[in-house]
């Protein structure tokens, strides 16, 4: 009986991490507007506080593990799994951002290179 329960832990963990990663990545969409906002600023001083969207990135993890609240779906998993899940979600989000940046950068490089051949 116990072996049946332990075999469901890994798929459930993978599903939880997938869902929370997706929700954290959705909060990263405003990041694309940062360069244009910076270019539009008249006095280009260095930022002294985090951007407005930083708190929203990991809001899904805070809600799941009931951090700063009384109830959340994963509050019973908080002590055993919060650190591992959070680290894996952070790594997944960072990896997706690196891939997205690489794809955007390669796209602009390819367009510039293709333009050379049509001149």
- Looking at residue 64, its pLDDT comes to 92
User: How many whole angstroms separate alpha carbon 52 and alpha carbon 55?
Assistant: 7
pLDDT band at residue 54 using 50, 70 and 90 as cut-offs: confident
Residue 66 within any structural domain of the chain? yes
Q: Please, which residues have CB within 8 angstroms of residue 1's CB and are 6 or more apart in sequence?
A: none
Residue 13 within any structural domain of the chain? yes
Residue 42 within any structural domain of the chain? no
Residue 38 within any structural domain of the chain? no
Domain tally, the chain: 1
Residue 21 within any structural domain of the chain? yes
Judge contact between 64 and 72, C-beta under 8 A: yes
Judge contact between 77 and 47, C-beta under 8 A: no
Domain extent, residue 16, equals 2-33+50-117
Tens of pLDDT, residue by residue over 61-106, are 999 999 888 888 888 888 888 999 999 998 998 888 777 777 666 6
Tens of pLDDT, residue by residue over 13-22, are 999 999 999 9
Q: Please, which residues have CB within 8 angstroms of residue 113's CB and are 6 or more apart in sequence?
A: none
> Is this prediction's pTM over 0.75?
no
| Residue 55 half-sphere exposure toward CB, CA atoms < 13 A | 3
Residue 57 within any structural domain of the chain? yes
């Amino acid at each position: 009986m116990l072996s049946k329960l332990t075999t469901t832990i890994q798929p459930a963990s993978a599903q939880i991490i997938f869902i929370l990663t997706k929700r954290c990545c959705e909060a990263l969409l405003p990041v694309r507007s940062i360069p244009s906002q910076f270019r539009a600023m008249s006095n280009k001083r260095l930022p002294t506080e985090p951007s407005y969207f930083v708190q929203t990135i990991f809001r899904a993890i805070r809600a799941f593990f009931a951090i700063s609240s009384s109830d959340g779906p994963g509050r019973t998993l908080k002590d055993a799994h919060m650190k591992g899940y959070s680290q894996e979600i952070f790594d997944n989000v960072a990896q997706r951002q690196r891939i997205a940046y690489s794809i955007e950068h390669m796209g602009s490089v390819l367009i510039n290179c293709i333009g050379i051949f049509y001149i």
